[in-house]
Chains A and B, each alone.
Chain A
Amino acid sequence: EAQVTQNPRYLITVTGKKLTVTCSQNMNHEYMSWYRQDPGLGLRQIYYSMNVEVTDKGDVPEGYKVSRKEKRNFPLILESPSPNQTSLYFCASSFGLATSTDTQYFGPGTRLTVL
């Protein structure tokens, strides 16, 4: 089944404790992206990657890192989480590099709470 998977689905952690949220897709998509969803703000893009070893900042990249060593995986790293990073996170992927017509496929989300 074609899908985007994220782990963990739920995570409660404390300020400053490094964490990684994994994202994997099995559709051979070149484009992958991370979003955070906060009430009343919709989804905001954190980072995106147009191919292996190619990443760039989205609208809200502060406090986050990403890597794209393999085509299928795009982990989101919080080196020193803070309470303002408490949010619902979505990973997404699509075939296109930068074509606006491509449909993005979303993972199920990771709900992160930073105490």
Chain B
Amino acid sequence: AQSVTQLDSHVSVSEGTPVLLRCNYSSSYSPSLFWYVQHPNKGLQLLLKYTSAATLVKGINGFEAEFKKSETSFHLTKPSAHMSDAAEYFCVVSDSGSARQLTFGSGTQLTVLP
């Protein structure tokens, strides 16, 4: 069985400061991990994904995430927040042996303060 826990339901940062959104996962197989972003009244957009290649994954809009198997974590980071980063972020896990594909975390709402 697979599961994912997003450790913070809300994160607030000031514009220009670093962003850290935390995600821990549980998986019976070799997992694939994703981060999706949802802007207000929009659908979900893929930010980045880890699929057992490089452990440091770079995504769109300056985001990156590091897969740490020993810590079962896949935290999302960005060096400098922009106002347009304000959105809800979802960490997602998929077991290689799962036909249901994706299990979503409960989401982290990111607020960027001017």
Number of B interface residues at 8 Å Cβ cutoff, please give it: 25
Give bound CA distance, A56 to B43, whole Å: 24
| Interfacial chain A residues near B49, Cβ < 8 Å | 101, 103
Give bound CA distance, A103 to B59, whole Å: 13
Asked if A40 contacts B101 (CB within 8 A), the reply is no
Number of A interface residues at 8 Å Cβ cutoff, please give it: 30
Asked if B102 contacts A106 (CB within 8 A), the reply is no
- Nearest chain B CB to A7 CB, angstrom units: 14
Asked if A100 contacts B44 (CB within 8 A), the reply is no
Asked if A42 contacts B105 (CB within 8 A), the reply is yes
Name the residue on B nearest A102 (C-beta): B101
Give bound CA distance, A50 to B98, whole Å: 12
A98, A100, A104: residue with the most chain B Cβ atoms closer than 10 Å = A100
Point out residues on B near A: beta carbons under 8 Å.
Answer: 9, 31-32, 34, 36, 42-46, 49, 51, 90, 94-96, 98-102, 104-107
